[in-house]
Amino acid sequence: MYSQTVIRAAPAAFAHEVPYRVGIVDLDEQVRIATRILADREPRLGGAVQIVTLSYRDGPLFAAQPV
């Protein structure tokens, strides 16, 4: 994980999920993406993550989960 922050004021679609984390992660494929971070507490920068899929009413979204 390259960077992360906590969202406390979210768009209406995600208001019921605040606070939640978002961040920038580096994938093994040499791609850097912005994504939701699934962690209860602050994850370690530079730590490994796995990409998972979250299901929403209007379609799936990717998220990163520290391993």
Tens digits of residue pLDDT in 9-46:
999 989 999 999 999 999 999 999 999 999 988 889 99
Distance CA 18, CA 36 (A): 12
Tokens 């995600």 locate to 14
What pLDDT was estimated at residue 13? 86
CA distance 56 to 51: 16
pTM: 0.83
Would you state the pLDDT for residue 4? Answer: 94
Model confidence pLDDT, tens digit, residues 48-57:
999 999 999 8
Q: What is the per-residue pLDDT for 1?
A: 87
